[in-house]
Chain A
């Protein structure tokens, strides 16, 4: 499903401020797997997820998702890839504050070419899965952190992606909401989704549905030992 080969990311490359966030990372995630990337802040977890989501481009190396080389995709294809294959759940939720939950959820489908009624039913399904249907018409800015997170989950799931990327999903949630999030994650894995979670939350340690926990440190996987 996801193959990373010698991925490096250097910010401000060629300048005195150059910073190497990822160093020759290689890994493979199989379809239906749930992988947790753990590590302290600044270890490179979020950067790695951003590269898999094609939100940024690697400085070196190759990323292949579902047989498609995404590390060098031009904008139009990268956007299509994000719109079709992946769903991202961000630490800071990244929702459009002036819109309601349902309106936020339909955003990824606006350019899908689907009929408005189909979009509506997909949004309802996704909100049910994320347990946020009861707040569908409420404006996002009036929601609690946990509700915002569930709204972000619904938005990430609405287009039925195969790969779900979660970047520090519980960093802004209390314990109760974090546990609810983990429950949703479990349900998603049961649906056969491939999940990669970047987190330093100890709650994710020893979860039965997590297939692997990969530790990241200083831009490398497990003390430099790549898969």
Chain B
């Protein structure tokens, strides 16, 4: 029963003093929206990149000549296969094809479609792909950006590549990669390895790199050593390095926003603190009056705590929902351009909704704790001064 009177009064105060609270709620919503949008975006990007990485080989090996990348002999495939603990060795042709007239480029990936791992990865990405039909003629699967670019230049069914020998190679556009792959595959063209070899002018016994797996993580460093002993002119990139690079890529951008968030929250908290601590503020007088009519310090702090907790919860809910809609429904206009940078081809990235309890908890704590402290500390300070003084 005691609580019903308190709840009644709490609701009453919040409603009657809504204009006083609306400013704080508005600023809070903006701050929480910005923080949530940045965290949602970077979490989603990292999730997409890391889950893509999971489908890739553990190691990528390239031959180097005087420190620069050179074509890798296919004979290395057998040499690598001989190493214990190695599986799924696959040669790959990988490189940028420049479409000089428009100054754009496509990322061409030539893979062996008879390799089980490659077909599985492709089938996971492109649902219901008819591989038999695909391989029956010289075809390619293109990213959405490539598809739109080619269509805009009247290459609706086929595209003609210019080979280093000066000849032309017409390739049929078989299918488009799904929009979910736009983050990494917007400008990608996937084709059979022999076709890619022809386009880049590679010999039959050459590829750009070789990928393979080492299922036992503990063996990774041993394999790297073995590769360096076996091939003196080799560059080995393992998944750990790629993972680190992917994480860092968006972490630093998120970091910039976190600094902005910290600056804005500190400013806001200082304003709040100032408002509540002001010597002749309305809050001060109100606390004095409540104390004079019999409220204890504990009662005052309880009222201020719940009053501001409701403000925090409302702001948090509204800010998080708006950020969710902005990032995952409206694809984060402006913010995505900052995170993704300028793209080679026009890219419409849709973000995979990734919202963890940890992210939400961090947002709440980073906001609620300083907010409540900024209100409760001055409220407590006023409460402990004699009511006669506070009411002045």
Contact = CB atoms under 8 A, between A and B. Distances in A.
A107 B293 contact: yes
The dominant DSSP class at the B interface is: helix
Nearest to B2: A113
Interface string B13-36: 100110010000000000000000
Interface of A: 50, 53, 55-57, 75-76, 79-80, 82-84, 88, 90, 94-96, 98-99, 103, 106-116, 119, 155, 159
A40 to B, nearest CB: 20
A99 B12 contact: yes
A55 B293 contact: no
26 contacts: A50-B388, A55-B292, A56-B388, A57-B386, A75-B296, A75-B297, A76-B296, A76-B297, A79-B294, A79-B297, A79-B299, A82-B293, A83-B293, A83-B294, A94-B292, A94-B391, A99-B16, A108-B294, A109-B5, A110-B295, A110-B299, A111-B2, A111-B294, A113-B2, A115-B4, A119-B5
B342 to A, nearest CB: 52
A112 B5 contact: yes
A-B interface, 10 closest residue pairs, ranked by CB to CB distance from nearest? A83-B294, A79-B296, A82-B294, A108-B293, A55-B388, A113-B2, A56-B386, A98-B16, A50-B388, A55-B387
Contacts of A96: 286, 289
Interface of B: 1-2, 4-6, 8-9, 12-13, 16-17, 20, 285-286, 288-299, 384, 386-389, 391
Contacts of A80: 294, 296
Contact of A110 (B5, B286, B292, B384): B5
B16 A107 contact: no
B298 A76 contact: yes
Nearest to A108: B293
Given A76-B298, A79-B295, A80-B296, A107 B290 contact: yes
Nearest to A98: B16
Query: Of residues B5, B13, B288, which shows the largest number of chain A Cβ atoms within 10 Å of its Cβ?
Result: B5
